């Protein structure tokens, strides 16, 4: 492992432990040249998950893209970043378990909306308006009415 500080190629492992989510090994290392310490993570290598877009194109699943979309929907809402990251982690874990190599983007969007509905209704409506490409105010109002009806039921 190359030291991120001095670039030297030799280090020693000081401590190894399982990461909190159980999906990686966290190793604390010390450079044998400059004596600075750094952390590395060893993860299980999976084949990349491809997202099948509505137009049939395929692109690699991008956790950052999903996270940014949820953060945008939750902007100026009382939703802690920790909850947003937990939501995206759960989604990522669920689709990785359920889908082998390819997942339709519709599956990702619908699962995200379900989770956002439970997390914050305003964020849900914001996300839905972009995801479902509302063309006019009537579609937006229908979504709001459906939300209110579910709440009263």
Is residue 15 very low, low, confident or very high in pLDDT (cuts 50, 70, 90)? very high
Q: SS3 for 5?
A: coil
Who has greater pLDDT, 131 or 90? 90
Count, residues in the chain: 153
Average pLDDT rounded to a whole number, residues 34-56: 88
Is residue 125 very low, low, confident or very high in pLDDT (cuts 50, 70, 90)? confident
Question: Of 108, 109, 117, 113, whose CA–CA distance to 150 is shortest?
Answer: 117
Q: How many beta carbons lie within 10 A of that of residue 77, not counting itself? A: 13
- Global pTM reads 0.63
Q: SS3 for 23?
A: coil
**Are the CB atoms for 42 and 32 separated by under 8 Å?**
no
Tokens of 79: 């939703």
């Amino acid at each position: 492992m190359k030291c991120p500080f001095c670039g030297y190629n030799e280090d020693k492992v000081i401590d190894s432990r399982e990461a909190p989510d159980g999906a990686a090994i966290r190793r604390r290392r010390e450079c044998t040249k400059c004596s600075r310490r750094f952390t590395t993570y060893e993860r299980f290598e999976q084949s990349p998950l491809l997202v099948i877009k509505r137009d049939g194109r395929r692109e690699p699943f991008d956790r950052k893209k999903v996270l940014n979309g949820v953060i945008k929907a939750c902007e100026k809402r009382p939703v802690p970043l920790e909850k947003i990251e937990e939501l995206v982690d759960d989604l990522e874990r669920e689709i990785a378990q359920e889908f082998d190599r390819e997942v339709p983007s519709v599956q990702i969007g619908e699962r995200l909306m379900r989770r956002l509905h439970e997390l914050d209704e305003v964020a849900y409506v914001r996300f839905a308006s972009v995801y479902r490409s509302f063309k006019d105010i009537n579609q937006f109002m229908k979504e709001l009415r459906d939300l209110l009806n579910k709440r009263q039921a």
